[in-house]
Amino acid sequence: MVQVRPVTSNHKQLDRTLTLAYGQTYYINVSTSNMNSSNYYEIYYSGSNRYGGGCFWYYNGPYWYSISSSDLFFYTNHNDVPYDENGHGTHVSGIIAAKSNNGRGVAGVSFGAKIMPLKALDYRGVGYSADITDAIYYAADNGADIINMSLGSYGRSSAMSDAIEYAYKKGVAVLAASGNDNTTAIMYPAGYENVIGVGATTNKDTRASFSNHNSSVDVSAPGDYIYSTMPTYTVMLNTYGLSRNYEYLSGTSMACPMAAGVGALTLSRNPGMSPSQLALALEQTADDLGPKGRDNDFGYGRVNAYRAVTSSSPQHTWYLAEGSTAWGFICSIGIMNPNPSDVTVKITYMTDTGEVDGGTYKVHAMSAGYADPQAILGEKDFSTKVECLEKKPIAVDRTMFFAPPGSDGTVFEGHASVGVNAPAKQWFLPEGSSSWGFECWLLIQNPNSSEAKCDVTYMIEGEGPKTVPHTIPAHSRKTFNMADDINSRDASIKVTSNIPVIPERAMYRNNRREGHDSIGTTAPAKDYYLAEGTTAWGFTTYVLVQNPNNSATDVTITYMTPAGPKEQPKFTMAANSRKTIKVNDAPGVSSTDLSTRVHGSKPIIAERAMYWIGGEDSGEACHDSIGMAEPHKKFYLPTGETGGDYGAETYTLVQNLNTSSVKVRVTYVTGNGEGNVKFDATIPGQSRRTFNMADKVPAGGYGVIVESLTAGKPIMVERSMYFLGRACGTDTIGGYSD
C-alpha cells in the first residue's frame, strides 16, 4: 500500500491499492487546494512506515512537484539493488572503477576494482551522520579495503570518528574529500585521525579554486572538470541540466576517488599494506606541488599513480611468522641495510604470551648482520617484526637450524625464508603434505590488537577442497598441524582471515633429518617465476602449482636452461586444486640447471621444492621457496656465508626472463659495510646463471645485492646455501626494489 502523508501527520490513503513491480519507476501527481508551499509530503507504506526511497517535495503551482518541473517520483529500491537518485555516487564510482577497453565513455583509475555501493544520503545528497556511520561499520565488516567518502560537514561526530577508528583497526583505509568552500575551516570526516584527506587540483597542477586548504589535506588529486559516468535514468543532477550516461563534474568529491583509485592500484601490487602504509605510500610518491614538503594547499602533493604502484612496497617493516629457539632449534634473523647511511631497527617478538621487546639496534650503511632471538627469549616459539625507525628500506630473512632429536649434532638441517612486508587477509601456499612421512605445520602470526578468525582451506591433490576454521589471539602466533585437519594428504593451502595476518608453512621428514619452509603469497597471477632449480648434481626438483580459481585452469611450464627455453605440454588443473610436477621426469631437461616459468590461463601460484642426498650420513636434505609473480630491478638477500667451521657454500641464482642479454651487478656486503665486493656479469636471454660466493670473497658472512644494469630489463634472484658437505641446505627469495 502506498500513501502520501503530510508532515502534519494526517494520512491520506490512496483510493486503490497499487502493486509496485521490483525496480521500476513510478510517477505520482499530488493535487491540493492548500497553496502553502511549506506543506511537505512524504511517501509511506503499510500505514505508518516511511518508504526508504521517499523524499520531501514542495508545491509549485497547481500540483506538487519535485525540485525540477518534473512530476513527483520515487523508486522501489531494495538494498541489494543500489539505485542512485542523485547521480553523484555513480560519478564517483566511475572515477574509481569504470570499465576499460569497451569503447565507451571513460576508464576508471583502478578499472579492475570492485565497488561496494552503500547509500547513506537521500536524493539531494543530504543525510544523517548516524546513517553514514552505519555504512562505515558495514563496509569494514564486509570486506572493503578502501572507503571513499566524497562527503562531509563542518561538525564533528564522535560516533563517526569511532567507526573510522574501527575500520582503520580492521585494515581498511579511509579517504575523504576536504571540502569545496575555499576555506581554512576543517571538514569532517577528512579532519578525523586516520583519514587520508584529499584536496583538488586543476589540469595545470594548481589548487582548484574551490578546494579547502588546511591541515586535513594529506594529498591532492585532479578534481576540476572531471568526466565520468552518470546514471542512465533521470536523477536529481539532471534537473540542473547535467546529462545522463556521462558528464563533467568538479569538486573534492571527484578528487577523493582519484586518490582512492590510486590507493586501490597500490593495494593490488601490495595487498598486505596496512592503512598507515598505504597513506605513507601515497604521500611519499606524490608530486610535491607547493612549498617543499607538506603544505595546506596540496598536502604532500598530487598523487602519482605510476610512482605509487612501482615504488610503494613498504620495505621498512618486515614480518616473519615462523621462529623457534625451543625444541632444539637455533634461529637467527638476518638484517640488511642497503642504504648509503646508517639506520636503526627495532625488533619485536610475538609469542604465545604476547609481545616481547627484542631491542633496538644500529645497522651500518651497506651492511648485513644478524640478531639472536635466544638471547632475548630463551627457549620459545615466536614470530618476529622488524622495523626501520627511519622508514628507509631494509631487507630481513630468518634461518633456522635443527638436528634429529637424540642426535649428537654432527649432522643438522636447516631452512630459511625472507619475511613479508605486511599482513594481509588472504594468503596462498602451494606446497604442503602430511603424507610421505612429512610433518606439515602452518604458522599464523597475528600482529593485531584483536583476535584473528581464519579459514584454512586445503586444496587436496586428487580430491576437493576442505576448509577448517582456526583462531589466533592478538599479538601472538599459533601453530597448526595439517594432519590434524586433513589426515594424510598432499595439499596446497589458502588462508583467509577477518583481519590481516601472516602465515608460513614448515615441513619436516625422517625424524627431522630434513625440512624446508616458505612464506606464502597474497595474490595469484598468470605467471610465476622460480630462479633456482636443477635436475643435475643429484638433485630432484618438484614444482607445485596451486589453482585457487573456482574453474579449471590451463597451465604451461617453461624451463630456462643453458641450452635455451624448454616449453612443456599444457595441462589442465581442476578448480581449487593443486598439482605436483617432478621436473626430473620432464622431457628435455635431464641433468641440467634451470629456472622455471609457470603460466596459467587463469591466475595461479607456484612453488619449488628440491631434495638431494648429502653429508657424512648420506641422509636426504631439502629446501624450498615460493615463486614470484614478476621480476624486479634489484634484489636484497641479507644472509650468506662461505667457508667456516661448517663448510658453508652460498650460491646466487639469477634468472633472465628477457629475450636479450642482461648485464647485472652482484655486491657482497660485509657486517660493517667496509670492504664490500662487487662485480658485473652478463646473462644471456631466457637463461640463468649461478654465482658462487667463494669465487669472489674470503671465508665469512655476507649479504648479497643483485641489480640489473640494463634499462627496462628486470631479473629474478634466489639464494641457496649448503653446509657440511650438503648435509644441510636452505633457499629463499629476497627483498626487492624497482
pTM of the model: 0.68
Helix (H/G/I), strand (E/B), else coil: 314: coil
User: Do residues 633 and 714 make contact, with C-beta atoms less than 8 angstroms apart?
Assistant: yes
570 has pLDDT over 90: yes
Pairing relationship of beta strands 354-363 and 395-402 according to DSSP bridges: unpaired
Residues 6+ positions from 79 with CB-CB distance below 8 Å: none
Let me know if 71 is a catalytic residue.
yes
Please indicate whether residue 353 or residue 400 has the higher confidence score (pLDDT).
400
User: Do residues 167 and 160 make contact, with C-beta atoms less than 8 angstroms apart?
Assistant: no
Concatenated DSSP letters of 648-681:
BEEEEEEEE-SSS-EEEEEEEE-SSS-S-EEEEE
Residues 6+ positions from 569 with CB-CB distance below 8 Å: none
What is the pLDDT at residue 187? 97
6: confidence class by pLDDT, cuts 50, 70, 90: very low
User: Do residues 640 and 580 make contact, with C-beta atoms less than 8 angstroms apart?
Assistant: no
Mean residue pLDDT of the chain comes to: 87
H-type alpha helices, 57-128: 88-97
CA distances from 624 to 94, 198, 586 (A): 44, 44, 19
What is the pLDDT at residue 54? 39
* Amino acid symbol at 701: G
Would you say the C-alpha torsion 379, 384, 390, 393 has a positive or negative sign?
positive
H-run or E-run covering 392: none
Domain map (residue ranges) of the chain: 2-75, 88-311, 317-629
* Amino acid symbol at 407: S
* Amino acid symbol at 374: Q
The pLDDT tens digits for 65-90 are 444 323 333 333 444 556 788 899 99
The one catalytic residue among 71, 295, 554, 617: 71
User: Do residues 345 and 333 make contact, with C-beta atoms less than 8 angstroms apart?
Assistant: no
Least confident of 202-216, 394-408, 643-657, 688-702: 394-408
Helix (H/G/I), strand (E/B), else coil: 375: helix
- Determine phi and psi for 278, rounding to 5 degrees: -65, -45
What is the pLDDT at residue 15? 65
Mean pLDDT on 382-389? 94
- The neighbour count for residue 419, using CB atoms within 10 Å, is 29
What is the pLDDT at residue 615? 78
What is the pLDDT at residue 334? 97
Pairwise CA distance, residues 462 & 578, whole Å: 8
Give residue for cell 583476535: 451
Pairwise CA distance, residues 620 & 352, whole Å: 32
Least confident of 475-479, 543-547, 719-723: 475-479
Q: What is the largest CA-CA distance in the chain?
A: 105
Residues 6+ positions from 499 with CB-CB distance below 8 Å: 170, 171, 423, 425, 446, 448, 450, 452
3-state SS string for 199-264: EEECCCCCECCCCCCCCCCCEEEECCCEEEECCCCCCHHHHHCCCCCEEEECCHHHHHHHHHHHHH
Mean pLDDT on 479-497? 95
Segment 372-379 long-range contacts (CB within 8 Å, at least 24 positions apart): 372/332, 372/333, 373/323, 373/325, 373/331, 373/332, 373/333, 373/349, 374/325, 374/330, 374/331, 376/349, 377/325, 377/349, 377/351, 378/325, 379/325, 379/326
Pairwise CA distance, residues 257 & 311, whole Å: 21
Let me know if 88 is a catalytic residue.
yes
What is the pLDDT at residue 59? 39
500 has pLDDT over 90: no
Bridge partners (DSSP) listed for residue 175: 148, 196
Please indicate whether residue 315 or residue 296 has the higher confidence score (pLDDT).
296
Helix (H/G/I), strand (E/B), else coil: 617: coil
Pairwise CA distance, residues 681 & 690, whole Å: 11
What is the pLDDT at residue 499? 84
Please indicate whether residue 576 or residue 75 has the higher confidence score (pLDDT).
576
Let me know if 253 is a catalytic residue.
yes
The one catalytic residue among 66, 88, 213, 218: 88
The pLDDT tens digits for 600-641 are 999 999 999 999 998 777 889 999 999 998 888 899 999 999
What is the pLDDT at residue 594? 93
**Most confident option among 120-124, 345-349, 511-515:** 345-349
The one catalytic residue among 250, 253, 433, 492: 253
What is the pLDDT at residue 39? 44
| C-alpha cell at position 124 | 539531494
**Residue in 530, 556, 574, 553 with CA at minimum distance from that of residue 688:** 530
Residues 6+ positions from 404 with CB-CB distance below 8 Å: 411, 510, 511, 512, 513
Domain 88-311 has CATH 3.30.450.20: no
What is the pLDDT at residue 298? 97
Mean pLDDT on 186-196? 95
The pLDDT tens digits for 7-64 are 344 455 666 666 666 555 455 555 444 444 444 444 444 444 444 333 444 434 444 4
CA dihedral 276, 280, 282, 283 (to 10 degrees): 130
295 has pLDDT over 60: yes
What is the pLDDT at residue 563? 87
What is the pLDDT at residue 311? 65
What is the pLDDT at residue 75? 38
What is the pLDDT at residue 421? 87
3-class SS shares of the chain: helix, strand, coil, % to 5: 10, 45, 45
Pairwise CA distance, residues 549 & 577, whole Å: 8
Pairing relationship of beta strands 476-481 and 465-472 according to DSSP bridges: unpaired
**Residue in 523, 333, 307, 492 with CA at minimum distance from that of residue 426:** 523
Q: If phi over 0 gives left and psi between -120 and 50 gives alpha, with beta otherwise, what is residue 421?
A: alpha
443 has pLDDT over 80: yes
Pairwise CA distance, residues 166 & 147, whole Å: 12
User: Do residues 500 and 605 make contact, with C-beta atoms less than 8 angstroms apart?
Assistant: no
| C-alpha cell at position 732 | 629463499
The pLDDT tens digits for 103-120 are 999 999 999 899 999 988
Residues 6+ positions from 48 with CB-CB distance below 8 Å: none
What is the pLDDT at residue 385? 94
- The neighbour count for residue 129, using CB atoms within 10 Å, is 18
Question: In percent, how much of the chain has pLDDT > 90?
Answer: 69
